[in-house]
Structure 1
Amino acid sequence: MDLQVLRSFRAVAEGATVTEAAAAAHLTQPALSRALNRLESEVGAELLQRVGRVLRPTPAGRVFKEYVDTVLDGYDRGRRAVAEVVDPDTGVVSLAFLHTLGTWLVPRLVTGFRQRFAAVRFELHQADENGLAEHLLDSTADLIITGKDPGHPLITWRRLLVEPLWLAVPARHRLAQRRRVRLAEVAAEQFIVLKPGYGLRSVTETLCHQAGFSPLVGFEGEEVETLRGLVAAGLGVSLMPAAPEVTAAHETGPDLPVRYLALTDVRAARDIGVARLTARTLPPAARRFVDHALHATAGTGGAPRPA
């Protein structure tokens, strides 16, 4: 059984046309069609059926694809591992991370790592908390950087740092000139939050409940920068990390449209950690990246505190 045929079968089962799969495999369309027919004969079942102008997996095809994914992912990981044994300074780090960490933590870690291992490549994915665990379980990532321990029996999580969270208010908000407030002081205001499934959303709800109220949701977004922009526009308040320009300058500055206030009645912070599948041996490059991340964040409490 040809691995390339399995790759073509997977591509077609995931929605590619036979023409597209054939081009990717450097085959003619008739040649790939014959190869797929031979694959069905070897398996002993119809794997693909025509629906309109495209092929879709049959029930047997969907079952078979799960095993094909395992075979191909294992083979690719094996090739990577061998390549890294031959040349330990090369390799690929397949990393998935929270959207909110793409503005500061992940770029810093990747940049610092590549200063030592310039030949290592990165495959990067973004997802919410729920999607990150799936990246590990379906082998699309070797590592994830997430806001909390996934709590999955197959996943090992290690804390990297504690990231402080702030109450973000518009520059003309009634509390904007304060440095510290109680979260309960904005209980009646609209909150700009991330959609359910995002770690920051669950942290926001937990902290509001600890302060004695349920947040009044005015908008649900998918990116912290969107939330920040809506807060600046005066549409509500939000719990979030300080903006990158704030943490870089160690101060809020009089001209910034959002003020970040420390909270005194709740512990406004979240854990950030790195996780991997417990039973899977990490490739050398991924192991080095974990060591680098742990060293780079050792002793830190998160982003610098706004003035």
Structure 2
Amino acid sequence: MDLQVLRSFQAVAEGRTVTEAAADAHITQPALSRALNRLETEVGAELLQRVGRVLRLTPAGRVFKEYVDAVLDSYDRGRRAVAEVVDPDAGMVSLAFLHTLGTWLVPKLVTGFSHDFPGARFELHQADENGLAQHLLDSSADLIITSKDPAHPLITWRRLLVEPLWLAVPARHRLAQRRRVRLAEVSQDHFIVLKSGYGLRSITETLCRQAGFSPLVAFEGEEVETLRGLVAAGLGVSLIPVSPGAATAPETNPDLPIRYLEVTDVHGARDIGIAWLASRTLPPAPRRFIEHAVRVTAVPEGAEGTGA
């Protein structure tokens, strides 16, 4: 059984046309069709059936694909492990992370690691909180950087840092001239939040409950910059993550008339950590990246907290 045929079967099963899969494999479409037919003969069942103009998995095909995915993943990881034995300073780090960490933490970690190990390569994925754990469980990522412990029996999580959360209000808001605020003071304001499934959404709801109210959600977004923009437009307030170490309110973008207020009645912060599958032996590059992330984010001895 040819691994390339399995890859082509996998591609077609995931939505590629036979023509596209054949082009990927650098063979003709009729040649790939014959190869897929031979695969079905070897397996002893019809794996794909035509529905309109596309091929869909049969029940037998769905079962077979699970094993094909596992075989190809194991083979690719084996090749990768051998390559890293041959060249220990190279290797691949497959990393998934929260959207909100793509603006400061992940670039910082990746840049520093690449400086120390210029032969290393990265495969990066963004996801919401729920999707991050799945990246580990289906082996599409070695590591995840997340805002909370996934609390999954198969996943090991290590805290890296604490990220402050500040209350963003429009520049014309009644509290805009303040430096600090109790979250309870905006219990009647409209809140702008991320959609359900994002870690920042659940943390916002938790902090509001701790302050004695449920947030009045006016708008939902998918990016923190969207939250900032809607706050600037005067449509509500929002809890915004801030790079740790900021001892004062974040700098205000002159194009976004926003004021940031420190929250005093609840612990306005979230944990940021790195996680991996407990049962999996990580290749050298991801193991080194964990060590790098822990070292870079370590609070210096004598440092005064995290800024919030």
- When normalised by structure 2's length, the TM-score is 0.95
Which ranges of structure 2 fall in alignment gaps of 5 or more residues?
none
* Contact map agreement 1:232 1:258 (CA 8 A) in 2: yes
Q: CA deviation at 1:242?
A: 3.0
Aligned residue identity for 2:99: H
User: Cα 1:221–1:253, aligned 2, differ >3 Å: closer, same or farther?
Assistant: closer
Which ranges of structure 1 fall in alignment gaps of 5 or more residues?
none
Q: Which residue of 1 aligns with 2:290?
A: 290
* Contact map agreement 1:164 1:302 (CA 8 A) in 2: no
Aligned residue identity for 1:18: V
Q: CA deviation at 1:250?
A: 7.2
Q: Which residue of 1 aligns with 2:221?
A: 221
Q: Find the residue that maps to 2:95 and give its secondary structure.
A: strand
Q: Which residue of 1 aligns with 2:157?
A: 157
* Contact map agreement 1:157 1:276 (CA 8 A) in 2: yes
Q: Which residue of 2 aligns with 1:166?
A: 166
Moved over 6 A (4+): 300-304
* Contact map agreement 1:191 1:218 (CA 8 A) in 2: yes
Q: Which residue of 2 aligns with 1:97?
A: 97
Aligned counterparts, 1:4-153, within 5 A: 4-153=4-153
Q: d(CA) in 2 for partners of 1:302 and 1:103?
A: 24
Q: Which residue of 2 aligns with 1:241?
A: 241
Q: CA deviation at 1:249?
A: 9.6
Q: Find the residue that maps to 2:96 and give its secondary structure.
A: strand
Aligned residue identity for 2:235: L
Q: Find the residue that maps to 2:172 and give its secondary structure.
A: coil
Aligned residue identity for 2:160: L
Aligned residue identity for 1:26: H
Q: d(CA) in 2 for partners of 1:202 and 1:302?
A: 27
User: Cα 1:165–1:287, aligned 2, differ >3 Å: closer, same or farther?
Assistant: same
Q: CA deviation at 1:123?
A: 0.4
Q: Which residue of 2 aligns with 1:188?
A: 188
* Contact map agreement 1:161 1:302 (CA 8 A) in 2: no
- When normalised by structure 1's length, the TM-score is 0.95
Q: Find the residue that maps to 1:165 and give its secondary structure.
A: strand
Q: Which residue of 2 aligns with 1:203?
A: 203
Q: d(CA) in 2 for partners of 1:113 and 1:219?
A: 38
Q: CA deviation at 1:26?
A: 1.0
* 1:175 matched to 2:175: yes
Q: CA deviation at 1:254?
A: 8.8
Equivalent pairs: percent with the same residue? Answer: 79
* 1:263 matched to 2:263: yes
* 1:252 matched to 2:251: yes
User: Cα 1:193–1:12, aligned 2, differ >3 Å: closer, same or farther?
Assistant: same
User: Cα 1:110–1:302, aligned 2, differ >3 Å: closer, same or farther?
Assistant: farther
RMSD: 2.1
Aligned residue identity for 2:188: A
Q: Find the residue that maps to 1:49 and give its secondary structure.
A: strand
Q: d(CA) in 2 for partners of 1:113 and 1:44?
A: 48
Q: Find the residue that maps to 1:123 and give its secondary structure.
A: strand
User: Cα 1:254–1:107, aligned 2, differ >3 Å: closer, same or farther?
Assistant: closer
User: Cα 1:253–1:150, aligned 2, differ >3 Å: closer, same or farther?
Assistant: closer
User: Cα 1:221–1:254, aligned 2, differ >3 Å: closer, same or farther?
Assistant: closer
Aligned residue identity for 1:151: A
Q: How many residues align?
A: 305
* Contact map agreement 2:249 2:262 (CA 8 A) in 1: no
Q: Find the residue that maps to 2:251 and give its secondary structure.
A: coil
Q: CA deviation at 1:252?
A: 2.8
Deviates more, 1:222-231 or 1:253-262: 253-262
Q: d(CA) in 1 for partners of 2:236 and 2:296?
A: 35
User: Cα 1:8–1:253, aligned 2, differ >3 Å: closer, same or farther?
Assistant: closer
Q: Find the residue that maps to 1:100 and give its secondary structure.
A: helix
Q: d(CA) in 1 for partners of 2:270 and 2:54?
A: 46
Q: CA deviation at 1:3?
A: 0.6
Aligned residue identity for 2:231: V
